[in-house]
Amino acid sequence: MSNMIERLTGWPALPDLFGWVETGLPAAHAAPGTHGIRIEERLTGGTYVLRAELPGVDPAKDVEITVTEGVLVLRAERTEETEDKHHTEFRYGTFTRSVRLPAGARGDDATAEYKDGVLTITVPVPEVKTETRTIPVQKG
């Protein structure tokens, strides 16, 4: 039905528009041709925590997490089961999301845990103590 509406009007069907509201414009945080991943993130007590919704994936074989130059990239794949389906709103294919880690984050020490469809990535961010230095002004 949504393909027919799009062909007739040139506009995507309403469920696709609602998806944009939930996840942002297409490819805003994802690579072209992939779906975005909904996340929440927080920085507390020297730890950066990112939680990502990834229901229906096998974290051992369908999830890849990389950190390069302070950018964490999360990639997952969900394959469609081949059954006769009349209607589906599930998304299948490749899902990606990239986020810039806070300054000083130690990506090499990141850990990840998957439970109940939610992937939690924890990255230590040591507090950097900054010293205040007074610079004398010389008269020229």
Per-domain residue ranges of the chain: 33-124
Q: Would you tell me which CATH number, out of the four given (3.40.50.2300, 3.20.20.120, 3.30.1490.150, 2.60.40.790), belongs to the domain 33-124?
A: 2.60.40.790
For every residue of the chain, which 3-state class applies, written as one string?
CHHHHHHHHCCCCHHHHHHHHHHCCCCCCCCCCCECCCEEEEEECCEEEEEEECCCCCHHHHEEEEEECCEEEEEEEECCCCCCCCCCCCCCEEEEEEEECCCCCCHHHCEEEEECCEEEEEEECCCCCCCCCCCCCCCC
pLDDT digits (tens, 9 = 90+) for 5-58: 555 555 555 555 544 444 444 444 445 556 789 999 999 989 999 999 998 889
pTM as predicted: 0.66
pLDDT digits (tens, 9 = 90+) for 73-104: 999 988 766 667 677 666 778 889 999 999 99
